[in-house]
Chain A
Amino acid sequence: MRSVLASITDVRPGEWALVGKTTAILFCVIAGHTLTETARDALFFGELPPSRLAVVYGVLGLTAIVASRFQSSLLLRLGRRSGLQATLMLAAYGSALFYLLPSSELSIFCLYVFSGLVSSVAVVQFWTLASHWLTVSQGRRLFGLISAGGVLGALTGAGLAIGVLRVLPVTTLLLLAVGAYQVAAFVVSGVEIEDEPLPARDARASAAGSAARAWLVTKRAPYVRRLAGLLAVSTVVLLIADYLFKSVAARAFAADELPGFFATYYAGLNGLALLVQLALSTVVVQRLGVLNGFLVLPLLLTGGAALVLASGGVAAVLLTKALDGSLRHSLHRVTSELLWMPLSDEEREATKPFVETFVVRLTQALVGAGLWLLADAAWDEPITLAAVMLLACGVWLVLGTAIRRPYVALFRSSLVSRKNVEVRELDLDSVEFVVEALSSREAGKAIAAMQLLANNNRARLIPALILYHDQPAVLIAALNLISTEERSDWIPLARRLLEHEDLEVRLAAMRALARRGIGDAAQIRLYDVQPEVRGHAAFLVEQRDQTADPQQHPAIQELLALRGAACERAKLGLLAAVRDAGDQRYAALILELSQDPSEEVSDAAVLTMTSLRDERFVPILIQRLGKRSGREAACDALVAQGARALEALRRTLVDDAVPTRIKRQLPGAIACFGNQFAANVLVERVTNEAIGLLRYKALKALGVLSQTSAVHVESDPLEQLLERELAEHLHMAATGELLAGAARGQTAQALSILLELLDEKASQALDRAFVLLQVLHRHEDIRSVAMAVKSPDRRIRARASEFVDSLTRGLARPRIRRLFSLIIDDLPLQEALKRGADDLGPLPSSATDALSRLLRSDDATLAMLAAYDALERRVMAVTPQVDALIAQSADTADSSALRDYRERVTS
Chain B
Amino acid sequence: MSNSVRARVEQELFLRAFMPVNPSSRAVAQMIELMRDLDYEPGEVLFHEGMIASHLYFVVDGRVELRAEGKEPWVFGEGSVLGIVDAMRERPYARTAVAVRPTHVIAQAFTDYMDVLEDNFDLALQTLRLAVTQNEHLEEGLKEHLRKAGDAGSRAYGSALGSGDESTLGRLLSLRATPTFAGSPVQALARLAHLAGVNRVAAGTRLFAAGERIDVIYVLTHGRVEEGSPGREIGPVTLLGGLHAVSHVSHRFDAHVTVDATLLALQKDDLFDVMEDHFGLVRALFAGVAAERETLLLLAAAEGQTPPRTV
Contact = CB atoms under 8 A, between A and B. Distances in A.
A and B: interacting chains = yes
Interface of A: 417-419, 421, 423, 425-427, 429-430, 433-434, 437, 442, 444-445, 447-449, 451-452, 455, 627-629, 632, 664, 693, 696-697, 749-750, 753, 756-757, 760-761, 764, 783, 787, 860-861, 864-865, 868, 872, 891, 893-894, 896-898, 900-901, 904
24 contacts: A417-B34, A417-B109, A421-B8, A423-B8, A423-B9, A426-B5, A429-B5, A430-B2, A433-B9, A444-B17, A447-B16, A448-B15, A449-B13, A451-B16, A452-B13, A753-B176, A756-B185, A756-B186, A757-B190, A760-B186, A760-B187, A860-B168, A893-B167, A894-B169
A-B complex: 4 closest residue pairs judged by Cβ atoms: A448-B16, A897-B167, A444-B17, A628-B269
Contact of A418 (B1, B6, B34, B280): B34
Given A418-B33, A756-B186, A868-B169, A904 B6 contact: no
Interface of B: 1-2, 5-6, 8-10, 12-13, 15-18, 22, 25, 29, 32-34, 109, 111-112, 115, 122, 159-164, 166-170, 172-173, 176, 185-187, 190, 269, 272-273, 277, 280
Contacts of A421: 8, 29, 32-33
A750 B161 contact: yes
Contacts of A430: 2, 5-6, 8-9
A760 B185 CA distance: 7
A756 B122 CA distance: 28
Nearest to B12: A452
A759 B59 CA distance: 38
Contacts, number: 127
A864 B190 CA distance: 11
B5 A901 contact: no
B25 A455 contact: yes
B284 to A, nearest CB: 13
Nearest to B163: A897
A449 B185 CA distance: 40
Nearest to B14: A448
A435 to B, nearest CB: 11
A267 B65 CA distance: 70
A664 B273 contact: yes
Contacts of A865: 169
Given A421-B29, A627-B269, A897 B164 contact: yes
Contact of B168 (A429, A434, A756, A864): A864
A425 B2 CA distance: 10
A427 B190 contact: no
A35 B164 CA distance: 81
B161 A427 contact: no
Contacts of B12: 448, 452
B167 A898 contact: yes
Given A451-B16, A897-B169, A749 B6 contact: no
Nearest to B170: A897
Of listed A423, A449, A627, A868, residue having the most chain B CB within 10 A: A423
Given A749-B159, A897-B163, A901-B163, A891 B6 contact: no
Contacts of A429: 2, 5-6
A865 B169 CA distance: 8
Nearest to B15: A448
A449 B17 CA distance: 9
A865 B162 CA distance: 14
A627 to B, nearest CB: 7
Of listed B15, B16, B29, B166, residue having the most chain A CB within 10 A: B16
Interface of B is mostly: helix
Interface of A is mostly: helix
B186 A891 contact: no
Contact of A783 (B109, B115, B172): B115
Nearest to A750: B161
Contacts of B168: 860-861, 864, 891, 893-894
Of listed A425, A452, A764, A893, residue having the most chain B CB within 10 A: A893
Given A427-B6, A444-B18, A628-B269, A437 B167 contact: no
A900 B163 CA distance: 8
Nearest to B187: A760
Contact of A628 (B2, B17, B164, B273): B273
Contact of A897 (B166, B176, B269): B166
Contacts of B5: 423, 425-427, 429-430
B32 A749 contact: no
A803 B2 CA distance: 34
Nearest to A418: B33
Contact of A901 (B1, B32, B162, B172): B162
B169 A864 contact: yes
B33 A419 contact: yes
Contacts of B162: 901, 904
B16 A901 contact: no
A632 B125 CA distance: 15
Contacts of B17: 442, 444-445, 447-448
Contacts of B169: 750, 864-865, 868, 894, 897-898
Given A628-B269, A753-B176, A868-B169, A452 B16 contact: yes
Contacts of B8: 421, 423, 430
Nearest to A424: B5
Contacts of B10: 433
Contacts of B22: 447, 451
B37 to A, nearest CB: 11
A372 B220 CA distance: 93
A533 B164 CA distance: 55
A444 to B, nearest CB: 4
A749 B187 contact: no
A402 B306 CA distance: 61
Of listed B13, B115, B166, B273, residue having the most chain A CB within 10 A: B13
Nearest to A443: B17
A430 B109 CA distance: 26
Contacts of A868: 161, 163, 169
A43 to B, nearest CB: 60
B161 A901 contact: yes
Given A861-B168, A861-B186, 15 more contacts: A417-B112, A423-B9, A429-B5, A433-B13, A452-B13, A452-B16, A628-B269, A628-B272, A749-B161, A750-B161, A756-B185, A760-B185, A861-B172, A891-B167, A897-B164
A447 B164 CA distance: 54
A782 to B, nearest CB: 13
Contact of A861 (B2, B112, B190): B190
A447 B22 CA distance: 9
B134 to A, nearest CB: 16
B222 to A, nearest CB: 16
Of listed B12, B111, B272, B280, residue having the most chain A CB within 10 A: B12
Contacts of A442: 17
Nearest to B11: A421
B198 to A, nearest CB: 9
Of listed B10, B115, B168, B173, residue having the most chain A CB within 10 A: B168
Contacts of B170: 897
A756 B173 CA distance: 13
A749 B34 CA distance: 41
B186 A753 contact: yes
B279 to A, nearest CB: 11
Contacts of B280: 760
A904 B32 CA distance: 59
A433 to B, nearest CB: 6
